[in-house]
Structures are given as C-alpha cells and as structure tokens.
Amino acid sequence: MRKIIPVVAAGATALAVAGSTFAYAALHNDVTLAVDGQTSEVTTMSRTVAEVLDGEGIAVGAHDVVAPSLDSPVDDGSKIAVQYGRQVTVNVDGKQKTFWTTATSVDAALRSLQLDTTGADLSTSRSAGISREGLTLTVDTAKTITIDAAGKERKLETTAQTVGQALNEAGIAVDSDDKLSAKKSTKLKDGLSFSVTKVDVKTVKQTKRVGYDTVYRNTDSLDQGKSKVKTEGRNGERTVVYTEVRHNGKVVKRTEKSAKITNKATEKVVLVGTKQEPVRSSAGSGSSGSTKSGTKNSGTKKSGTKSASSSGNSVWDRLAQCESSGNWAMNSGNGFYGGVQFMASTWGAMGGSGLPHQASRETQIAIAKKLQAQYGWGQWPACSAKLGLR
C-alpha cells in the first residue's frame, strides 16, 4: 500500500497540473484587431471589446467608430475594427463647411459628403490620405457661364470663383473706361451671364465745306443792265475736331471740341454796269435815265401790274414822280421796275427779294435809301438833278 499511494498521489498531481494548464489556455482568446484598416492579431484574456482596446492602449473618442460596440463580449476569433474620426474643413466655391469623417482619403471624404466634384479643382490630390490631425481642403467646382464680350457671345467652362478671374481666364482685357454688367468681385454660379462693353474715347477730325459769298460791285465800264463775273467764287474748308465716345465700335456721343477755318473761301465778285445810255427826250414825261436804278421811261406808262400812284410828298415820292410818274408798280418791260426804276440785279444786290415792282412802296423806299447811302444820288442822275438833290 505504501508504494501505491505515491503513485496515485503523483498521478493526481499530474492531473491537477494538466487541468490548470487547460484552464489557463481556455482564458486566452485570439482576436483580429483592425485600426484604420491596419490589421494585427492579438491574444488576450479580456472579455469585452473595451477591455481589449484598453489593453492595447487604444483610446477612442466621441467621433471614433468601433465595431462591434465597446461592451460587446470577445470570443476566440473575434474581429474588432476601429476607425478614428478626422475633422475635415472643405471650402467649396468660397463656402466653408467643417465635418467629421472616418474616411482616410480625400476622395472617400468627398464621397461621404455626396459632393459632385466632376471637373473641379482641388487644393489636395484626391488620393491623398487624411491624418488623425484632420485636413483643410479647397474645392473649386466647374461652372458653365456666358460672356457677351463686345457684342460677341461665348460660353466658358471654368473653375474660376469670380467674374474677374473668369475674364482673365478668357483673355478678355477690361480697362477703366469699359463697362461690366457685373462687378469683378461677383461670385460665379453655374449658368451665370454677364456682358463687357468696350468703351473707347477718341479724338477725330472732320473737314467741312465753307461756301463762298457773292458780292456785287458797280462799274461804269459796263452798260446798265449788264453784269460780268470778275472773280469766280471758291469754297473754303473748316476743320472740326470732335471727341467721340464709342461703345463696341459704335458712336454713342459726339462733342465738338474746336473748329477752325483752314482754307479761306474766295468770294465771287460780280461787276454790275452803271454806264447810262445817252438821254433821249420823251414826250409826256419829265424823267430822264439813271445809272443804277432806272432809265428813261420812254414816255410810256405801260405796266404789267395795277398802277400804284405816289402816296406821299417825300423826296422819294417826288423822285418816283419823276422816274415813273409816281407808279410804284411800274413794269414797263424795259428792264427797270418800280417807282424809282430799279434794275433787278441792283435790287437783289441791295437785299431786295423778288422784283422791285412787286414790293410795297415802303420796301422800295427802304432799298432805295440803302442804294443812295452807298452810291449817292448819282444813281438817278437826271431826276436827282432836276429835283436839286445834287
């Protein structure tokens, strides 16, 4: 019995040791741990996910994601995933937004925002990673705008942010005179339209014709009733300087700046004959010929108009009495008209209109006064002498 007891005791001891080893092994679990996609194998005696993470020195915050949950039990073969939260600030076309994401790349973060970035310009590569410190990102989205440049419309696909940037990209220069329908600082939106009016201010010169004057000069080298052009008239020139404002090449405003005669006109000189014909006697008439305003009436009182006798006793009425028997409507057919017998050319040269006999007595006297003041009573040589006027 003594030999048997030790053997039994030894056997019992072996079983106890074996049982203890089995129990220790049963307490350990092999767990797969993935942190931000990086996988490792962990053997642990922890009974919950939280204990496993704590044992590995992994702290999680409010924005981190753990699966399964922290209070979930851990078994042999369990898989635990930890995704750290990252703060991302995105500036989209000037509008800023900050959010938390467990995405580890820029592209994945943008997809989580459901933001269409097709054709957009990004300040960071789409494939760039996002560290746990987070990321600030600028996104300039693609836009299609319409620019009416000096009357020519064009479409532009751009990621520019403002009207000014779009103009630079399109190669459209805008100076201080030009007009924009939108400010350069205006933010671009898809579908926006604006116009550029090219404004030019120019100084231009224009030459204009200056008409010549016609002057009449009496000469006794020509018989009364005849005329001759001594000097032909020639038009002059006037240079006018204008300031023009043009919108897209079209003149919208013109202001005269200066005007100057650059080529003086040459007046036309017409010689009017004053040489009188020899005085012929005339029965039934006390008048005689005149050099400028009339000649002898030849004693006839024939007239194409109704007779108008003198209505006063002025010197002009007495002169008319001598020249035309006082008939201010006299048209005898000999080239002399009216009460004081004007030639048509002399009448026109003194400012009269129409024919003398068609004018009133007062108008005829007014024109006769101008003629006498300029050339004297010798325009009616016979009658003025008869009346003692010279």
Distances (CA, A) of 2 to 8, 10, 12, 16: 10, 13, 16, 22
Question: Of 13 and 314, which is predicted with more confidence?
Answer: 314
* Over residues 82-102, mean pLDDT: 90
* Over residues 31-40, mean pLDDT: 92
The pTM of the full predicted model, rounded to 2 decimals, is 0.47
Is residue 294 very low, low, confident or very high in pLDDT (cuts 50, 70, 90)?
A: very low
For the cut 90, the answer to whether the pLDDT of residue 306 exceeds it is no
Confidence at residue 94, expressed as pLDDT on a 0 to 100 scale: 82
Confidence at residue 25, expressed as pLDDT on a 0 to 100 scale: 52
Question: Of 160 and 285, which is predicted with more confidence?
Answer: 160
For the cut 70, the answer to whether the pLDDT of residue 84 exceeds it is yes
First and final C-alpha spacing in the chain: 200
For the cut 50, the answer to whether the pLDDT of residue 14 exceeds it is no
Is residue 313 very low, low, confident or very high in pLDDT (cuts 50, 70, 90)?
A: confident
Is residue 3 very low, low, confident or very high in pLDDT (cuts 50, 70, 90)?
A: very low
* Over residues 343-348, mean pLDDT: 92
CA angle, residues 119, 125, 126, in degrees to nearest 5: 65
Confidence at residue 330, expressed as pLDDT on a 0 to 100 scale: 93
Q: Which domains does the chain have, with CATH numbers?
A: 29-84 (3.10.20.30), 86-140 (3.10.20.30), 143-197 (3.10.20.90), 201-270 (2.20.230.10), 280-386 (1.10.530.10)
Largest Cα separation within the chain, whole Å, is 210
CB 147 within 8 A of CB 194: yes
Confidence at residue 263, expressed as pLDDT on a 0 to 100 scale: 93
Torsion over CA: 98, 100, 103, 108 (sign):
negative
Is residue 93 very low, low, confident or very high in pLDDT (cuts 50, 70, 90)?
A: confident
For the cut 90, the answer to whether the pLDDT of residue 371 exceeds it is yes
Confidence at residue 116, expressed as pLDDT on a 0 to 100 scale: 77
For the cut 70, the answer to whether the pLDDT of residue 284 exceeds it is no
Query: pLDDT of 55-68, one tens digit each?
Result: 999 999 889 999 99
Confidence at residue 95, expressed as pLDDT on a 0 to 100 scale: 87
Is residue 338 very low, low, confident or very high in pLDDT (cuts 50, 70, 90)?
A: very high
Confidence at residue 1, expressed as pLDDT on a 0 to 100 scale: 38
Torsion over CA: 155, 156, 157, 163 (sign):
negative
Query: pLDDT of 256-275, one tens digit each?
Result: 999 999 999 999 998 988 88
Confidence at residue 182, expressed as pLDDT on a 0 to 100 scale: 92
* Over residues 169-195, mean pLDDT: 91
Average pLDDT, the chain: 83
Is residue 168 very low, low, confident or very high in pLDDT (cuts 50, 70, 90)?
A: very high
Is residue 281 very low, low, confident or very high in pLDDT (cuts 50, 70, 90)?
A: very low
Confidence at residue 283, expressed as pLDDT on a 0 to 100 scale: 27
Lowest mean pLDDT among 63-72, 115-124, 255-264: 115-124
Of 170, 167, 197, 159, which is closest to residue 181 (Cα–Cα)?
197
Confidence at residue 58, expressed as pLDDT on a 0 to 100 scale: 92
For the cut 50, the answer to whether the pLDDT of residue 288 exceeds it is no
DSSP 292-343: SS----TT----SS--------SHHHHHHHHHHTT-TT-B-SSSEETTTTEE
